[in-house]
Amino acid sequence: MLTIYGVYRSRASRVYWMAGELGLEFESVRVIQARRLANPLAADAPINTLSPDFLAVNPMALIPSIQDGDLVMHESLAITLYLARKHGGPLAPQTVAEDGLMTMWTIWAATEVEPHTVKVVYVYDDEKQNSDEGKATIIVAVRSLKKTFATLEKHLATNEYVVGNRFTAADLNIAEVLRYAQTEQALFEAHPHISAWIKRCQSRPAYIAMQATRSQEPT
């Protein structure tokens, strides 16, 4: 059985969403981020990214990780691509060309988009959105995102989805990266095709179920 290490309030959300899309049974091992604990190495600390048991799974001390049989994998965006490819169906690439495009768009999301969107979500996580520092961070991040948003907006102007005109792992990966910046409504309103597309992605039952579970986790 597939084992997912992490919590829903982390990048593991992408893996839980994908598992839901594919209808996979899985065991969820709750591993929280060490930064959320005052003393993650305390004897009574819950299992976290610095716990020896988890470091034996992922020495990089990051979530999520998965174990699928003898295979251990890290990096959420790679995990979702792997699960889609393994289990097939419409979320997986149907051709070598689609495989290349899904990989391309996923790497684009990881390198060109997420470094900026994650800065936005961290401001809100730290409750600094109303501070001068927080506002400045958001302004710079949004400015940096305009070029990447323009690229995706142009592509979605003639495509319902990112690859193959159907919802795939590429859409899931990009939607999860962009979700970090959805607090910035003006940015999305300025890109109507992206706004419509992400609504389609986030209206899927597997996403709604993932978010329902995520909302029940402690912050």
Domain ranges within the chain, ordered by starting residue:
2-88, 96-207
| Identity at 22, one-letter amino acid code | L
- What residues of the chain score a pLDDT lower than 50? none
Tell me what pLDDT residue 219 has.
Answer: 77
* Separation CA 158–CA 152 (nearest Å): 11
Instruction: Output the pTM of the full model.
Output: 0.96
Tell me what pLDDT residue 19 has.
Answer: 98
Q: Fill in the DSSP letter of residue 100.
A: H
**Architecture category of domain 2-88 in CATH:** 3-Layer(aba) Sandwich (3.40)
CATH placement of domain 96-207:
1.20.1050.10
Distances (CA, A) of 66 to 57, 112, 135, 204: 9, 25, 36, 23
Tell me what pLDDT residue 197 has.
Answer: 98
Q: Which two tokens stand for residue 34?
A: 């060490």
Q: Which residue has the tokens 């992408």?
A: 14
* Separation CA 207–CA 35 (nearest Å): 26
Judged by phi (left if over 0) then psi (alpha if -120 to 50, else beta), residue 70 lies in alpha
DSSP for 117-172 reads HHHHHHHHHTT-TTSHHHHHHHHHHHHHHHHHHHHHHHHHTS-SSSSTTS--HHHH
